[in-house]
Each structure stands twice: as structure tokens, then as C-alpha cells.
Amino acid sequence: MAVTLEPQVRIGKLAIGALGALALALGTLQAVVEPSLPLLQDDLGIGPAEGSLIFITLLITGAVVAPIAGKLGDRYGGKRVLVVLMTAVSVGGLISGMAPNLPVLLLGQVLQGAMVGALPLSFILVRKHLPPGRTQVAVGLVSGLFTGGGLVGMLIAGPIAQGLSRHWMFAIPTIAIIAATLIVARAMPDDPPAGDASKIDWPGVVLLSATLIALVLGVSAVTGGGLPPLAIGAVTAVVAALATAWVAVERRAPSPMVDLRMLASPAIWSACVVTLLMSLGFGMAVYLVPQLLSVSADGYGFGADSTQIGLFLVPATIAGVVAGTIAGLAARRFGPRAVITAGTVVTATALIALASLHDAAWQLVVARALIGFAVSVSLVALLAATATAVSTKDTGIATSLLVVTRVVGVALGAQIAGAILGAGTDPVTDLPTEPAFTTGFVIAGLTTALALLIVRVMKKGTQS
């Protein structure tokens, strides 16, 4: 029987700390736009419709770059590709900071979106240089700090933009990214490339990218309303055709972008489905809770402004950071399957409870914090399990598939929640009715609960 040797521990605290600092800075840069969007719109002379392009641009780039970065990292070495990617992100951050108008800002956001690829590349490095137990802990640490960067970005964006300027709002996190990248380049040992002499599957890369772009734009267009049934059918047909073409190309490619045999293994497909279902429920909660908080206090809402909503959501963000940092430890102690099951149960229960228990702001704050903690600990445990369940040469592409699934799932969940509220809007007040929120929370909870059926068939080997 073949014996799999664990990698030697060849990286110390400085290298792991540098990866964590990089993840923190990236999360900060990613989050600065959302709380400062009104200021950006006024400064650049754009409206809400143009402002939404900033988020869509970042999302599309991240969804496209993550699997490509993971694949290239598997082949050419995680450190080499990470440094190149962070160079692009740094240029994007500087362009965003100096942008005089929307087109230039969008260019910066396109380059910044490449930051999503940093996560699978970091997982490649810790997988190659640490044994499985410590790999799970390191994956949790990096994921948790990326989430923590989101909290930092939301808290500092307004004060920096108002006290200094919007330019420094992008520049300060970018400077931190440059510094952390330099430390990673110096402290992290080189990881050897896979030595694969075959050509890169560029047709597969192009078709996967086109499929993801069509999916994101299609979902945004369909849930935005106003499309006739024929147009919705056309969008669905285009996405299906691109996905079918991608599968056909991958089946014939000598060195495919994604090995479909790996994708068909229980450990991978079940992890992707669980990630999608939990991300859908989480995305709906991310959209519904702030909307409910902002509804006028004269009715069933609380009349909270943007600043108050941000403060209400701080506990949820902190919970997500804590969950990310302890998820690896929990997965090593109790097994990923147990952690994922517990997280799914808590998430589904909290979402369904919100359908009836949303009469006080503290109920929303507590439930949102529970959801943030449970989802983060579950998805990080999935990432950690996947990173150690596949061969070392496939770590990047396998984990990047989960990262992309999470990004698309959260975005899709938010769009679905928006459509539910739109369908339940009172024509007199032009505000969503309370039953619309109730319906949204119930659907989010039931969607998340479906993940329990998939967890039952997850490969038992992921527990070790």
C-alpha cells in the first residue's frame, strides 16, 4: 500500500504572518467602496446605476481570475503567480485611487478584482509547506483575516475619504498590499512547479471565463426585472450553451483547465454544492437584514441610516473573522463534516427564526452574527477539507472552484432576495411589505437546509 508523505514544515511564523497580513489588506481594499459609494457618486458625478457597475466589475473579474490563478499556481508555483497577481492588484489600487472619472475607476476595479485569486494561491503555499493538520489551521487563519479586512475597510473608508480624500481610501490599503507582498516574496520559500510540459488549455480558460461572465451578468439582468420571458429564455440558453461547450472542450483537452474527473469526485462536487447552497442563503441574509433595518420605523422597520446599519453589522463581521480563524482548529479536532453540519443547522435555524422574530433590532443583530459565524466556519472548513482531500498539484484549482462558487452564490442570493422584495412591494408606499421579508427569510433558511442532504453523502475521508 502506498504511503503518502506529509510535506516538511519549511515556513515559519513570518511567512504565515505575511500571508495573513496580505489577506487582511486585500479584504480592506475590497470593502472600502461599499460604505463610501454615495461619496464616490457625488465626487464622480454618477448615479446609482453607474455606481452599481463598480460592484459588478469587481465580482466578474474575481470570478474569472480565481480558477485561472489556481490552475496557474498549481502548474508554475503558488508564490510566483501570487507575486504577479498582487502586482496587478497593486496597480489597480493605485489607478482607483487616482481615478478622475468612472471609466478609469472601473479599470482599477478590474485589476483589483484579481485579488480573489490570492486565496487559492495562499492555500497552495500552505499545502506544499505544511502537514495537513497545520494546513487546515493556516487556511482558516488566511480566510478569517480576509474577512476581517472587510470589517476594517467598512470602518475606515468613511473617515479616510472624508478626512483626507477618496484617493487615500484606495491608496492606504494598496500600500499595505505592496509591503505584505514584498515580505511574502522574501520570507516564503519557492514552491516547485508541477513540471507539466503540456500546453495550457486556453480554449477551456476562455470558455470558463465566458460562462462565468454570462452567468453573473445574466443573473443581474434577470433579477433586475423588466426582461420579457423570451429574453430570460435567451439568457438561460446562452449560459447553458457556453457551459456545455466548456465541458465538451475539457473532456477532449490533453491537459484540461479543470479535470472533470476531479470535479466528479464526491469530495469535490459535494463541497461545491454545499458551498453554493450555503452561499445562496447567506447572500439573501446579507441583502435582507440591512433592508429591514432601513425600513421606516413608522411601520415594521427601524429607520436606521447607513452609519447605524454599519454599526449593527459590526458584530456579524467580527463573528465571521473569529469563525475563520478557529474553523481550521475545529475541523482538525472534530472533523470537517461535523463542523459543516453544525454550521448548516445553525444557519438554517437562524434564518427561519428571523421570519417571525424581527420585532427588535437586537434580534436582527444576534441572528446576523450567528449566521455570519456559522457560514464562515462551515465554508472555511470546506476549504480546508478540500485543500487536503485532493493531490497537491490540484490544490489551487480545487479551492478556487469553491471560492468562485461562494462569490457567485452570495451574489445570486442577494439578487434573489432583491427580486422577492421587489415582487412584494406595496404600490402605495413603494416599500417592501413585511410578508415579503418573511418569505425571503424562509426561502433562505430552506435553501441552506438543503445542504444537509449533501453533507450526508460527503466522502467520509474528508473527516480525517
User: Angle at Cα 94 formed by Cα 21 and Cα 214, nearest 5°?
Assistant: 90
User: If DSSP codes are grouped into helix, strand and coil, which group holds residue 425?
Assistant: strand
Domain ranges for the chain: 10-190, 202-257, 259-464
Q: Is the pTM of this model over 0.85?
A: no
Res 11: pLDDT? 65
CATH of 259-464, one of 3.30.2350.10, 3.40.50.300, 1.20.1250.20, 1.10.10.350: 1.20.1250.20
Average pLDDT, the chain: 79
pLDDT band at 5 (very low <50, low <70, confident <90, very high): very low
Per-residue pLDDT for 14 more than 70?
yes
Please say whether the beta carbons of 121 and 81 come within 8 A: yes
Per-residue pLDDT for 27 more than 50?
yes
Q: Which of 342, 376, 367 minimizes the C-alpha distance to 437? A: 367
Res 464: pLDDT? 41
Question: d(Cα 82, Cα 86) in Å, to the nearest integer?
Answer: 6
Q: In sequence order, which residues have a C-beta less than 8 Å from that of residue 438 and are 6 or more positions away?
A: 355, 356
Look up residue 370 and give its three cell numbers. Answer: 450567528
Per-residue pLDDT for 59 more than 50?
yes
Buried b (16+ CB within 10 A) or exposed e, 399-420: bbbbbbbbbbbbbbbbbbbbbb
Mean pLDDT of 420-434: 80
Identical topology for domains 10-190 and 259-464: yes
pLDDT digits (tens, 9 = 90+) for 148-174: 777 778 777 778 877 787 888 888 999
Question: d(Cα 217, Cα 31) in Å, to the nearest integer?
Answer: 21
CATH class of 10-190: mainly alpha
Per-residue pLDDT for 298 more than 90?
no
Mean pLDDT of 284-313: 78
Per-residue pLDDT for 179 more than 90?
yes
pLDDT digits (tens, 9 = 90+) for 95-106: 988 888 888 888
pLDDT digits (tens, 9 = 90+) for 61-80: 877 787 788 778 777 777 88
Question: d(Cα 398, Cα 268) in Å, to the nearest integer?
Answer: 7
More confident residue, 348 or 204: 348
Res 348: pLDDT? 94
Question: d(Cα 124, Cα 142) in Å, to the nearest integer?
Answer: 12
